[in-house]
Amino acid sequence: MRQALSRRRWTKKFSLAAGSAVVAPSLAAANRQATPEQTEGPFYPVHPAADLDADLTQIDGVEGTALGDVIVVSGHVYSLDGKPLTGAMVDVWQANHHGKYIHPRDRNTAPLDPNFQGWAKLNSHADGSYRFKTIMPGPYSLRSFGINGMRCRHIHFKVTQPGFQTVTTQMYFAGDPLIEKDGVMAGTPAERRGELIAQMDASGEFPEYRFDLYLGTV
């Protein structure tokens, strides 16, 4: 059930939290590789959007709120030696609650959600952190592509920083049974798939999924 929290209050609350803690990288720097690459996919947004902020559940100037279960996604952007990257561009896009993208090439017959932003561009903070509020994306059938199967729930990421290699990848959700049969995930070496699966922390206002990203130098 959605808790009433205005867009302005949530953004302010996030801004205060973002600079309050630095979380150390989860793996030893000596063993660190860049985050595994995955396909950008065919649905990177093509239409200009006036609202690309950190709250995808609402659109500025639109009264309604997006359908679906509200979640928060947060993490840090690091170099391979574990140093936080300040000002990295974190570009994220995803399907809505029904598994439909805001894209003219998406032939999925599921409905669009006029209240779902679907796309955000964020800059990492001084400690490398980023955070955004969204809804749990829906899985969707691949039949419109002539493929017998489903895509599991996922969020697309493209992270850029001058002097570093761009990472284009996808984030998955721990416990999703469709991950095991997902064709895109199957293209990532089995020993590295865990780096793309975010774990849930249910202690906050909304379920929160942690997803750290690592960039190698050019």
Domains assigned to the chain: 7-19+31-215 (2.60.130.10)
Its pTM stands at 0.89
Cα(193)–Cα(88) distance, integer angstroms: 23
* Residue 66: closest CA among 137, 153, 131, 126: 137
Catalytic residues: 101, 140, 151, 154, 156
pLDDT(86) > 80: yes
Query: Which pLDDT does position 217 carry in this prediction?
Result: 97
Query: Which of 209, 213, 215, 214 has its CA nearest to residue 74?
Result: 209
Residue 73 is predicted with a pLDDT of 98
What's the pLDDT tens digit per position in 47-85? 999 999 999 999 999 999 999 999 999 999 999 999 999
Q: How far apart are CA 133 and CA 56, in angstroms?
A: 6
pLDDT at 20 exceeding the cut of 50: no
* pLDDT-derived band at 30, boundaries 50, 70, 90: low
**Distance between CA atoms of residues 63 and 75, nearest Å:** 29
Q: Is the pLDDT of residue 24 over 80?
A: no
